[in-house]
Structure 1
C-alpha cells in the first residue's frame, strides 16, 4: 500500500467524487480509479457504495479512512522529526483555533513566537470546536487552542473568559451593572448553532437558570451574533470582549452566575508524540500563559 495512493484515498473519501478528487490531486481519473481498485483488492472489500455518478464511503471505508489519516500523520511527523534533528530551528506547526481567538489572542501568540523562532512555519486552521476536534483526531493538526476541553486529549488551560449578556443599546437591561440570566428568560436569543462549544455552554447556563430561551437566529460566529444584537434581533450570551473589539451598538452586561465563564486551553493528542516544532510552540504557549497570569 503506497503512501501516495493512501493519500489519494483520503482525498477521494473527503470529496466522494472521482472527477473532483483527480482534479485536486492533479492526476487523471483512470489513474485514480485504478489506484482505488488496487486498494479495494488489497483490503478485500469495496470501500465505497456507488450512487449514480457519486461515491459514498461505506463502513469499511470509514475504518480505512481513520487509519489512513493516522498513518499519513505519523509519516509526516517522522519526516518533520528527522528534519528537526538536522536543523532544530525549522519545521511546521499545524495549529487549529477557534474563530473567536482569531482577532487578537492567536495572532499575538504567533507574533511573539516568530520573534523567537523566525524560521518555523505555520499551517493554520480556523473553525468551531467540533471541527477542531475532528482535525486533531484526523491528524490534520498537531495542536489546538479551543474550548471546551475535548475528551481524550492532553490539555493545558490558558485563560478564562467571563461571559456576559449582550443587549442592544437602549434595551431595558442596558444600564445594569450585572444581571441574572434568569431575568432574560422572556427575551429572544441569538446564539451559535447547537454543535458549537459556546452554544452548549449557553444551554447549560440557561438550564441552570431555569429558562428555555427562544432562539430566533443561529449564527456561525460571535461577531455575527453581536451585530444582530445591535440590530435589535435579540440578546446573546458572549464572552466579555476587549474594549477595542466590542460591537458599538451593543452593551455587555456581566452575568452573576459563577459558572458564566469558559476556559480556553491548548489541546494535543495523547497517543502520538508532537513534531519538534509543535512541541516547541506548545512549550512557548504554556510559558506565555504562565507569565501572563
Structure 2
C-alpha cells in the first residue's frame, strides 16, 4: 500500500467521481483508476461501486476511509513535528475561536505575536463552544480560545488568560440609556436579543437573570456577535455582551452600560489537548498568549 494510493482513494471518496478527483490532483484519470484498482486488489475487497457516472463507497470502503483519514492525519502531524523541531519559528499554529473573539481578542494577540515571529503562519477555524473543544480533542487544530473556559473536560486542559466583564448593550432610545450603570433586574421586562439555545454566552445571560428570579424574554436570536449587535442597534431588544467585543466596534444607535448588580463575568482562556504535547511552534504561541495577557492585565490595573 502506497501513500499515493491513499491520497487518490481519499480524494475519490470525497468527490464520488474519478474524473473530478483526477482533475483536482492534476493527474490522468487512468492513473487514478489504476491505483484504486491496485489498492482494491491488494486488500481483496471492493471499496467503490458504480452509481451512474459517479462512484460510492461500499460499507467496507466507508470503514477503510475512516482509518485512512486517521492515518494521514498521523503522518501529517509527524511531518509537521519534524519540520517544527528543525525550524520552530517557521511553523504553523492551527487555532479555533468563537465569534466573540474574532474582532479584537484574537487579532490583537496575533498581531503582537507576529511582530516577534513574522514567519510563523496560522490556520484559523471559527466555531461554536462545544465544537471547538471537540476539535481540539480530535486534533483538528492545536488549541482554541474560549470563554468561559471548561472546568470538567477530561481530554483538554485550560489556562485562564483574563477575566472579562459582561456589559449591557441597549438601544440609544431605551429609558435607561442615560444612566451611568444598570442593575440587571431593571431589564426584567425587556425583550432580549441572545444567541440560540446551546450557546454558552446565552447560558451565562440566562443564569444571571435566573439568579434574580426571572427568565429573560428572548424575542430575537443571532448566531454571531455582529448579528446580535445589529439587532440591538435596530431597537429590537437589549442584550448582555462581552465588553471586549465592543472595542473598536460599537454599533450605531446603542449605549453600553456596566452592570452594577450582580457582577456578570466570564473567564477567557486557551484550551489545549491533555493527551499530547504541543509542538515547538505551538508552545511558542501558547507561552506568548499567557505572557501577553498577563502584561495587558497589569497595564489595565
Shorter-chain TM-score bucket reads 0.7 to 0.9
Residue 293 (structure 2) pairs with residue 289 (structure 1): yes
Distance 1:286 1:23, change over 3 A: farther
TM-score, normalisation: structure 1: 0.79
**What SS is found at the alignment partner of 1:89?**
helix
1:218 to 192, 216, 221: 221
Write the distance in 2 (CA, Å) between the matches of 1:106 and 1:11. Answer: 33
- Provide structure 2 residue ranges, at least 5 long, that are not aligned to the other structure: none
Who is 2:267 aligned against? 263
User: Displacement of 1:148 after TM fit?
Assistant: 2.5
1:206-245 pair list within 5 angstroms: 206-241=209-244, 242-245=246-249
Mark the structure with the bigger radius of gyration.
2
Write the distance in 1 (CA, Å) between the matches of 2:187 and 2:45. Answer: 59
- Provide structure 1 residue ranges, at least 5 long, that are not aligned to the other structure: none
Distance 1:290 1:72, change over 3 A: farther
1:251 to 255, 258, 272: 255
Q: CA-to-partner distance for each residue in 1:126-172, whole Å, 9 max, x for gaps?
A: 23323322332332210111123242311111112211221111211
**What SS is found at the alignment partner of 2:182?**
coil
Who is 1:126 aligned against? 126
TM-score, normalisation: structure 2: 0.77
User: Displacement of 1:277 after TM fit?
Assistant: 0.8
**What SS is found at the alignment partner of 1:244?**
coil
Who is 2:107 aligned against? 107
Contact 1:83 1:91 in 2 (8 A): yes
Aligned residues: 286
Greater shift after overlay, 88-97 or 264-273? Answer: 88-97
